Amino acid sequence: MTQAHVRFARPTEDGAGVKIRRINEFTGALDPFLMVDELKSDLKDDYIGGFPPHPHRGFETLTYLLHGGLNHRDSEGHHGGVARGGAQWMRAGSGVLHSEMPTTDSDGLHGFQVWINLPARLKMSKPAYRDVQTDEIPTINFKGGHARIIADHWQFNGVEAQGALPTLGDGAGMAQLQIDAGAAVRVQLPSGYRLLAYVFEGSVRATHPSQTQPSQHYESGALLSFPIGTEKIDLHSESGAGLLLLSGKPLHEPIAHRGPFVMNTEAEITQAIHDYQSGAMGRLDA
């Protein structure tokens, strides 16, 4: 039997008072993922302050929006913006300062930011950025639902598709899955990958094809983490559900973390702080 480990998002604030729900895990238990943030509010004051200039080193971020928008600037000279249905990918690599400032639509702001760890050989790679607009992200339909394929390759109920981004980190992906009421969707993964499923709408049950007993229902704010090597999972929903799915190959490397920096050793963290304070990561005016 495949048993999911479940974590629940907790309310907090980040940036200039942006209200979010967060799950963070820097012990390697979600390897290669480090953090999942859900940004959701229809009150402008909850998010309009955004995320003024701040540094990162050693990982990637992928931000995906259901509603609202984000404008990006960074110390490498990249700038851009996306609206509902779009995504922003950034490799912090050796270090970058960036800002993310929200825009609104009639439904407020609702989206996700995920931190994806980089292996040691890529932690000091050159920073990079890419906007992914709504019409670049493929949608696939299958019995029981549909999915938007944001990054990497996915298979749902036997239907396969490649995402707008080839891969994240050192082999990771993201998809938005919508399950119809009363339906079940089978997710199939490559061998050796980890699957995470964050419920943001409705409720789901998760079972392995070999299970005969129904599992517990999980509702909005639950992150299901399945054991490495789980290649097939059936997701059921009586009322319909929306999930953010993440898949990735674990790095199995040590994690040293402090604030916006994620490296392999404490000495590397100390160096990152020094490089930021000395201006070696560049400058970005507010």
The neighbour count for residue 134, using CB atoms within 10 Å, is 14
pTM: 0.96
Is the confidence at residue 140, as pLDDT, over 90?
Answer: yes
Burial-class residue 45 by CB neighbours within 10 Å (0-12, 13-18, 19+).
Answer: exposed
Closest CA to 196 of 230, 165, 163: 230
Cα separation, 96 vs 108, in Å, equals: 28
Helices (H) and strands (E) in the chain — how many of each? 1, 25
Domain boundaries, the chain: 5-248
For 44, the 3-state DSSP assignment is helix
Q: What would the pLDDT profile of 164-216 be if each residue is shown by its tens digit? A: 999 999 999 999 999 999 999 999 999 999 999 999 999 999 998 877 666 78
The CATH superfamily of 5-248 is Jelly Rolls (2.60.120.10)
Burial-class residue 88 by CB neighbours within 10 Å (0-12, 13-18, 19+).
Answer: buried
Closest CA to 244 of 123, 109, 154: 154
Length of the chain: 286
Cα separation, 166 vs 103, in Å, equals: 27
Phi, psi of 46 (to 5 degrees): -75, -15
Cα separation, 28 vs 282, in Å, equals: 30
Cα separation, 268 vs 12, in Å, equals: 28
Q: What would the pLDDT profile of 74-129 be if each residue is shown by its tens digit? A: 999 999 999 999 999 999 999 999 999 998 777 889 999 999 999 999 999 999 99
Residue with structure tokens 């399950």?
179
Q: Binning pLDDT at 50, 70 and 90, where does residue 48 land?
A: confident
Mean pLDDT of 154-172: 96
What does the pLDDT read at residue 226? 94
Which residue type does 117 have?
A: N
What is the bridge-based pairing of β-strands 194-207 and 218-219?
A: antiparallel
CB within 8 A of 39, min separation 6: which ones?
Answer: 18, 19, 20, 47, 102, 109, 110, 111, 112, 113
